[in-house]
Structure 1
């Protein structure tokens, strides 16, 4: 093993040792202590070696842990053995003793032996031989866990001088906080236990020592201080992660950032919040902050910066982990984190532009004209926040958010994914739509903007929701003020102009938001006085409450510094070898299924082999991905009539996205909201790859297993569905004419149908997890979704929608040509109808009688449900027309 320099502080005794999964900021912190997380890695051998490995000695499997900062894997009982081989983690701080003062302040490499290593040797330029490394005991590389440089584990490549040479901290050195900046200071002597001589001189309060003693007595002494060195080109970064945001993605992100950065610049917000960290780093020049969470997490950090009065306040970038992420969308960080490499995120944070964000005060006073005896007991006298960054609203949307908030507080385990959170929002909105609980909002509000009374305008409009908007985005990416250029009577909307946009929504305009509509533009102003005469649901940046009758004053508070993600290149993009891009590019486009992507996105070559060609587009050399999207959509339209339909001529689903195949060691998705930030030459060289999450590959019975038939699901006979791995793009072959459809034969998945019929959710879930096919049909062509609708099981319906391919939504049975939505409408199952509609089912599909789902609801004497279906059908038609117009 490569020995590490002896630490300045000896390790604790075994009796005091504890396995830490967080950074220790106490005075007993261990120099070079690992940060352990449980792992299921089974192929890596224990780092302590066979001689010291407890699993080897006991001859039984043991749990494993992985260090987030240096990525070694050991068995849990073997952690103590690391001391015997003198291997410690990369040091994240230094001691402030006199010996350290005389030493040069440089960061040394932290060399780690690796049995698996990606990339090429820095010395010889050859790749690391690891064909059998997963099961091999041989060490193939030595790499530094700071700068990530890697060498072959042999003398000809890894020279002895590499051991002690200074480390550059790697590609992200500009944002890494060097461990030499973080000092652990000795606890000052307690004056209560000092000698008599020191007591006699304790009155000298001007001495620095006395000052430190006073801090100790007051409980304000901190064992760590930050001593930054002048470095004008550095942009040190603090990372704050909310592990509860967006389906609990945060835990893995914390570990990844600890690998790329100093673990002492990465903070878990569930461990006390951001205040102490910001106080600790307040003197660091050019400091930047990365907020990993939802918009509420960003607001929390901005409020703490207000309290600390840092001057200038450090700019805040966003890694969106929340449900809506409207501020992140506004600043080009996208609508939600998927799988972009965090090293790319760090580069974007470093390169991003600093912009200003208006922030608004909310001052609440009781309405003196309301009788106190009429007060709603469930209402509160104050808003959850006294400042907002995105929006403040009241009425319908706040009521929905309040119900979601109360349900999540009661059952947090049911809200562990973005999809389920959005489904709950949609279901709550649907029920509120049917009850019309916000219809009389206009009767109970008075609105004055910049001294102009708009109450009569409100009463004429009769809105069910009022929104005071600071940024262009709202409600998970919609644009309620309208697109730029649509509002000629007003100034362009900005987030840094000191003005707020006031918008009213009827139920119709709220529904239209999702398909590009907007609300009623009331005004742009700098001050608002809003008076309510009864308790009304309200929300401040997504934090809801029911506020008693009040007078609310809105005024500009200040401006925060934010980091806006930008295109990384300021000039003409270049291809490989720094050659200018030609005037026009001819690029082949290929499609990848979600199943192949999830299985192979770490293996570029195999994923490329699994892709299916769509065609060729010709674009200008400096095109961004937005322009490429238009060209690909046109390509789809041109090939729409191709016969026979092979897989390559299937129409892309609306959810397709671009894949970056060149700038990282794997493929990763590009958020649609960030397509304008990426040049096509950045993510592609000779071929452009797109991911279609709804692509289903089917096999016709009778074809050879080695040459599967690739056909469009829509071209297959009703009830015939046979899935196979998408690893070939062979031309279609003719099916055997005598083959009997497998779905009509006795099949083990009949048990799945029986569970759906009986409404037995636990049994249904168990069968699916055991490998049963959710696309199975019975002899009449009915899917499990048809049967779940008939049984009225909402849980099974939701489960199928979340886990089955989207084709199941519009699948028809053979007798009447009904989809599951037809049947749900006929049975007057409003909630189930809503689930299926919001999942994307067609409302224009007719059965064999020519009826749409709306007609079936009318025949079932449910006018409210019919009105809802008609409303959604109308906007589906608008959406389709808009897409065709855009193309």
Structure 2
């Protein structure tokens, strides 16, 4: 478009991380003079080619000339195309599309040195390592060699298999097609934290010859014994027959088989007899032998072995501090075969020590591994000490770049979130307009319930709580309660969250375009809402009369009355006008009935909702002087399911009794609406569980 040629490019939404093209300077190849070229003709071919090769090695086609800015966080992206089943090869083009191609590097083409040297003078530089934990370690070691000051902070896009460091820094256990745009936002918004890095200095045992570890520094862990033996067997078998290890499932089966055979053979059974462990001057050898440990792990980060937490809950033992990756201490953990087996189901190892230095002496050849790289080390003396601290980018608990969520407010420890669902019919009518759809969701959605969750919960956790809303505990005598699903219309397995913060073009359906169910563990609930969630249920059937709906569909009143009939709607409009003029919505008549009692009696959902939203919650449990019934008693007697739901979620008491001793649930039973009674009983149990959770948290 000719009219736009002279306009300056703003670089778009990710301008803060994009390297402007004006920073990249193309350097022409130096031209030799005629005199020097004549001299070259007299030289031998061998000398000429070697000199030219040296010049080619020094000459770089591009240099970076940065213009520092406090608002910029220029990003370097290093992609390992072989990681994660070749996922790296698929995303490298996406990063080149969003960013300046000169800031995206393929690690298979010479490693990270060239990119780091080119950008070493760039202020406030950040790095995104796309690969496994080994890729991250490679980049951190190169940063050590180049001694960049200040050292750039490193974020992680997990493409490997274990990804324990990525989990520790909140980047998740694997990449699941999350949009590149969102990844860039997280890298930009992430907090900079410190990561301890540890030296491994190997000296020969005087009685043996020296052998080497595969790495002399580790970021995650160093271990010896059973786990290292299994990893070593796998690596040796894969190197001998690589064609047999092209499937992740086969690899896991091989691991399981190797672990079982090693268990039967007991190859690591006598580990404690052949080592000596000294931590900060304290000899732990006798304890290792007493516990008959078959594996020792020196752990720097909380995660190990694809997400397990071997240090466990530090509150269980007062002798140790909570584990941190930036405290200059390393955790020493021992395992027997039994404790290793329980890791995957939440178990932990034997906590031995938290220390700053370790001296490990081995008296026989023992399998070891350093950040997943195995070897069999001859008898040696290994010293572990703190090397330095690396700057890392930790993914924040919430998206800070979207103004929709009022970012100035801190995330509370616990969230009370209303959940409502919308049908595909209503969604498709307004999916072309985000604002209209949001308004429609507020008026047309069907209330599902209330969930109480920790403030840093991800959407996967929310999904679990939402699906529990349809379960009711049915008393089973002295044997406790039994979970039973209500006979009402259940959520379909295909339901998904509606994300208005990232809502896009018309073909987008819910979060299929953005936060698909496979990506829910990567996104926090606060990225969507802190008070109300809308979910799209493609199989939800809207029924307005009870005769055509089995069970308890969508909390429709048994009367089948439409919520905004002409009469009640006029009253509703008049009520709003009077309230604007200063009318008191909490007024009571001579019998003690509130305006809310009369709204329930009239069956007007609009008026009930308006009063609830605009008055104190104290009005909910006001009792009629004649019968002692609250508004919830009255709504239950009239089988007004939606109104009951409004009142319950607003905080109305489910345990309050009238003058006859009936609770709202008893009123629903007397009205012969067993499903409404089951719903009220379900909410009663759910509120009790929530109260117990809150008391436990306190």
Decide whether the 8 Å contact of 1:573 with 1:580 is kept in 2: no
Matched, 1:492 2:322: yes
Verify the 8 A CA contact 2:397 2:456 in the aligned structure 1: no
In the alignment, which residue of structure 2 is the partner of 1:450?
280
Question: Which residue of the other structure, out of 639, 643, 668, is the alignment partner of 2:515?
Answer: 668
Structure-2 change in CA distance of 1:633 and 1:517 (3 Å) = farther
- Structure 1 CA distance for aligned equivalents of residues 116 and 175 of structure 2: 25
| 491 and 579 in structure 1: CA distance in 2 versus 1, 3 angstrom threshold | closer
Deviations 1:364-388 (A, max 9, x none): 1111134x6xxxxxxx810000000
Instruction: Tell me which residue corresponds to 1:162.
Output: 4
Q: Is 1:310 equivalent to 2:148 in the alignment? A: yes
Kindly tell me: are residues 237 and 215 of structure 1, through their superposed partners in 2, closer, same or farther at Cα, counting changes over 3 Å? farther
Distance 2:167 2:408 in 1: 32
Measure, in 2, the Cα distance between the counterparts of 1:401 and 1:658: 40
Distance 1:570 1:451, change over 3 A: same
Residues 445, 455 of structure 1: 8 Å contact kept: yes
Question: Is residue 588 of structure 1 aligned with residue 410 of structure 2?
Answer: no
Q: What does residue 632 of structure 1 align with?
A: 466
Is the contact between residue 536 and residue 546 of structure 1 (CA under 8 Å) also seen in structure 2? yes
1:435 aligns with 2:265: yes
Secondary structure of 1:297 counterpart: helix
Q: Secondary structure at the residue paired with 1:405?
A: helix
Query: Do the aligned partners of 2:197 and 2:219 also contact (CA within 8 Å) in 1?
Result: yes
Q: 1:589 to 1:559 in 2, by over 3 A?
A: farther
Whether the 8 Å CA contact 2:404–2:501 is kept in 1: the answer is no
Q: Is 1:184 matched with 2:26?
A: yes
1:171-228 per-residue CA deviation (whole Å, 9 max, x = no partner) reads 1111111121111112223479537999xxxxxxxxxxxxxx9996483121211111
Give 1:284 deviation, angstroms: 1.1
Structure 2 segments unaligned to the other structure (5+ residues): 41-50, 425-433, 474-482, 505-512, 540-549, 555-695
The structure richer in helix per residue is: 2
Question: CA separation in 2, counterparts of 1:622 and 1:486?
Answer: 24
Shift of 1:241: 0.8
Shift of the 690–357 alpha-carbon distance from structure 1 to 2, 3 Å rule, reads farther
2:74 is aligned to 236
Partner in structure 2 of residue 467 of structure 1: 297
Q: Describe the SS at the equivalent of 2:315.
A: coil
Do the aligned residues in 1 keep the contact of 2:417 with 2:533 (CA within 8 Å)?
A: no
Contact 2:185 2:401 in 1 (8 A): no
Question: Which digits, 9 at most, give the CA deviation of each residue in 1:430-481, with x for residues without a partner?
Answer: 3323332211111111101111111101100111110000001101111111
Normalised TM-score (structure 2) = 0.64
Flag the 1:223–1:320 CA change in 2: closer, same or farther, 3 A.
same
| 1:679, distance to aligned residue in structure 2 (A) | 0.8
CA distance in 2 between partners of 1:398 and 1:591 (Å): 53
Q: How many Å separate the matches in 1 of 2:153 and 2:70?
A: 16
Structure 1 residue runs of 5 or longer lacking an equivalent are 3-159, 199-212, 373-379, 593-603, 692-696, 698-709, 711-728, 730-884
CA distance in 2, matches of 1:657, 1:527: 50
Decide whether the 8 Å contact of 1:589 with 1:616 is kept in 2: no
Instruction: Give the aligned partner of residue 546 of structure 2.
Output: none
Distance in 2 (alpha carbons) for counterparts of 1:480 and 1:579: 35
**Quick one: distance in 2 between partners of 1:533 and 1:622?**
50
Residue in structure 2 matched with residue 287 of structure 1 by the alignment:
125
- Seen in structure 2, the aligned counterparts of structure 1 residues 674 and 197 have a Cα distance that, compared at 3 Å, is closer
Shift of 1:619: 4.4
Using the alignment, how far apart are the partners of 1:420 and 1:613 within structure 2?
46
> Which TM-score applies when normalising by structure 1?
0.51
Cα distance change of structure 1 residues 590 and 294 upon mapping to structure 2, 3 Å threshold: farther
Aligned pairs, number: 504
Distance 2:321 2:411 in 1: 38
Structure 2 residue 349 is matched with structure 1 residue 519: yes
Match in the other structure for 2:106: 268
Q: Helix, strand or coil: the match of 1:289?
A: strand
Please, which of 526, 537, 553 is the counterpart of residue 367 of structure 2?
537
Equivalent position SS for 2:309: coil
Alignment of 1:642 onto 2:485: yes
| Cα distance per residue 1:61-86 (max 9 Å; x no partner) | xxxxxxxxxxxxxxxxxxxxxxxxxx
Partner of 1:238, secondary structure, is: strand
The answer as to whether partners of 1:467 and 1:502 remain within 8 angstroms in 2 is: yes
User: Contact 1:356/1:495 (CA < 8 Å) preserved in 2?
Assistant: yes
- Is residue 2:91 matched to residue 1:253? yes
1:171 aligns with 2:13: yes
Pairwise CA distance, 1:257: 0.5
* Residue number in structure 2 paired with 1:717: none
Deviation at 1:618, TM superposition (A): 4.2
Write the distance in 2 (CA, Å) between the matches of 1:649 and 1:482: 36
8 Å CA contact 1:320–1:336 kept in 2: the answer is yes
SS class of match (1:427): helix
1:744-773: per-residue Cα shift (whole Å, max 9, x none)?
Answer: xxxxxxxxxxxxxxxxxxxxxxxxxxxxxx
Offset of residue 236 of structure 1 = 0.8
Q: 1:297 to 1:660 in 2, by over 3 A?
A: farther
1:351, 1:520 → 2: CA distance?
A: 37
Aligned counterpart, 1:482: 312
Structure 2 CA distance for aligned equivalents of residues 531 and 584 of structure 1: 54
- Name the structure, 1 or 2, with higher relative contact order (CA <8 Å, separation 6+): 2
Whose Rg is larger? 2
Task: Find the aligned partners of 1:591 and 1:433 in 2 and give their Cα distance.
Answer: 54
- Choose the corresponding residue for 2:237, options 407, 411, 417: 407
| Equivalent-residue separation in structure 1 for 2:110 and 2:411 (angstroms) | 50
Q: Which residue of 2 aligns with 1:779?
A: none
Q: Does 1:616 align with 2:449?
A: yes
The residue number in structure 2 matching 1:389 is 219
CA contact (8 A) 2:218 2:370 kept: yes
Q: CA deviation at 1:546?
A: 1.0
- TM superposition shift of 1:494: 0.8
Alpha-carbon deviation of 1:625? 3.6
Q: Sort the Cα spacing of 1:407 and 1:585 in 2 relative to 1 into closer, same or farther, 3 A.
A: same
Tell me what 1:350 maps to: 188
